[in-house]
Amino acid sequence: MKAPSFFPVVVMGRFADRLAASAQVVAAAPYTISVFATSIPGVDFAPDSIAVVDGKVFVGYGDGAAPDGSDGKSSTIVEYQLNGDVVTTYTVPGHNDGLRVNHTPSVWALQNEDASPNLVIIDPKPRLIPPHTPFSSTPHGGGYDDISFRVTMFSLAPPIRPTLPTTGPPS
């Protein structure tokens, strides 16, 4: 089997910090590991989600915004070329925690996985970002963590938060 000529491996978040500290990152042959892109220190940080569309890589950064959107901060989505050069940046309200590409192709960005979720749909061709769409109260009381597409339909997934019993095992 021939190895692909371009196979990016992206390691993100706390795991990347641990790997960087250990300096023991090794790829199995014929693959290699290298830095794809760097963000602006102190401005774009806490990378979370990645989406690839039409030869561009979109990375969603949490930027320290509260996961329920309560602090009123925004997050950044950076559009990169495949070589890691920045194409443009998009500012979205709240804490970005999910990027997906649909069939049109547009990039759907979900914010605020713990409460008060909103959705921003980015059209990468003309680089348009319309106003965000806030959701009404959610049936599970939180936000959304992921989105998936099936033909022309989509579904949202709340974050998985295990609940531990406080009074002992169920009867």
Encode pLDDT of 85-94 as tens digits.
Answer: 999 999 999 9
* pLDDT of amino acid 160: 54
Whether 7 shows a pLDDT value over 60: the answer reads no
Question: pLDDT tens digit string along 114-134?
Answer: 888 888 989 888 776 666 666
Cβ contacts of residue 127 below 8 Å, gap of 6+? 79, 88
pLDDT of residue 11: 42
For residue 82, name the pLDDT band (cuts at 50, 70, 90).
very high
Of 18 and 8, the structure prediction assigns the larger pLDDT to: 18
CB count within 10 Å of CB 145 equals 20
Predicted confidence at residue 137, as pLDDT, reads 66
How many other C-beta atoms can be found within 10 angstroms of the C-beta atom of residue 58? 22
The average pLDDT across 81-88 equals 94
* CB-based contact 156:144 (threshold 8 Å): yes
